[in-house]
Chain A
Amino acid sequence: MTGPRFLPASLLASLLEDPLDPGYRAAATAPPDPPALRRTASAGRYLVLAAIGVVVAVAYHQTVTHAPEASKTRSRLVKEVRDRTARTDALNDRVEAERKQVAAQRTRSLAATDAGRRAAADLRTLELLGGYTAVRGPGLTVKVADGPGKPGGDPEEGRVLDRDLQDLVNGLWQAGAEAVAVNGRRITPTTTIRQAGGAVLVDFRPVFNPYTITAIGDRDQLEASFADSAVARRFRAWTQVYGMKFSARSAGGLSLPAGTENPPRYATGGRP
């Protein structure tokens, strides 16, 4: 490599002031090269220019073909997630249908005897309380939504968290609800409400803002007790401070779907 014939006082200064390769200046003052060398160098010039063209074209082509790669992978993953969710939903529907068949069979065979009929009635109550059958009735509809947060503050403060939903659901149980659902997902004794990343998961399925919590029970008693509860008071305060939305209205003719059943693997029945 044609090295510099001088040592610059400051590397940065020389870089900024005079970026020309000092080889050119040296070659200008040196004696001319023999013609053979000049011809080779001339040919070399064109070769180098062509090589530069190829390199630039290849680099451009690489960038262009690889950029969609990332978004292609992403859309493939999104599609896979959707497909699997659809499959799980279909399997859940099948489970639901078969359970209905089993229940019908069971009712028929239990209806044969008195003891059987009593057992069937007990079973129906247990299933209703556990949240494993769809139910209808009057009750309370609670709606909450994210707010913008304090003016000039962190907007994250206005978000409804899994804790808030848990408190609301517990508040409704305490107020006397017999069945509760969050955004259409029934709460059973083993249903979890947790946060993963930015989304709230109810029974491991995401639910999104705004949130509607429906509870079935005595209309008036539910409304009064819930309005008095600590969580309702907290939420009313938050509507002022963080701009969150909160409303609790009694309604009739609410219908909640059945929750998904998780047969226990470790818990066994019997005496405590």
Chain B
Amino acid sequence: MIAALALLAGLVIGLVLHPTVPDGLQPYLPIMVVAALDAVFGGVRARLDGIFSDKVFVVSFISNVLVAALIVFLGDKLGVGSQLSTGVVVVLGLRIFGNAAAIRRHLFRA
């Protein structure tokens, strides 16, 4: 589908051009990746549930990334950066697993 192609195109562009990440953004890159994965899994599950909405998908991705980055940034300023970062990754990871389980139930009726 076009969606998968868009994802693939993004991957190829990233691998071929490999844009250099500005030093200030480097610590937020892993958080952004996890937040992006959460949005993707949520979108796929919504699609399988039949209630997918583009608007919600776009907004959820942007807000996930921004909120996660904000939490980590705040944590860094307050001295609990690594703990909050772990917390964010744990929570988003839980959501990813939950959505993945729901997707699995859809796909394999198991």
Task: Enumerate chain A interface residues (CB-CB to B < 8 A).
Answer: 1-2, 15-21, 23-25, 27-28, 33, 37-38, 41-42, 44-62
Q: Contacts A48-B57, A52-B61; is A59 near B99 (CB within 8 Å)?
A: no
Q: Contacts A15-B94, A27-B51, A57-B18; is A52 near B67 (CB within 8 Å)?
A: no
CB distance from A38 to the nearest CB of B (A): 7
Contacts of A27 in B (CB 8 A): 51, 53, 55-56
Residue among B12, B58, B60 with most chain A CB within 10 A: B58
* A58 and B20 alpha carbons, distance in the complex (Å): 8
Q: How many inter-chain residue pairs (CB < 8 Å) link A and B?
A: 152
Task: Enumerate chain B interface residues (CB-CB to A < 8 A).
Answer: 2-3, 6-15, 18-19, 21, 26, 29-30, 32-33, 36-37, 39-40, 42, 45-46, 49-63, 67, 91, 94-99, 102
Asked whether B55 lies within 8 Å of A33 as measured between CB atoms, the reply is yes
Residue of A nearest to B94 (CB): A15
Contacts of A18 in B (CB 8 A): 98
Identify whether the interface residues of B are mostly helix, strand, loop, or mixed: helix
Instruction: Give 25 A-B contacts (CB < 8 Å), ordered by A residue.
Output: A1-B67, A2-B63, A16-B98, A19-B102, A20-B42, A20-B98, A20-B99, A27-B55, A28-B53, A41-B55, A41-B57, A48-B61, A49-B7, A50-B6, A50-B10, A51-B36, A52-B10, A52-B39, A53-B11, A54-B14, A55-B32, A56-B36, A57-B13, A57-B18, A58-B29
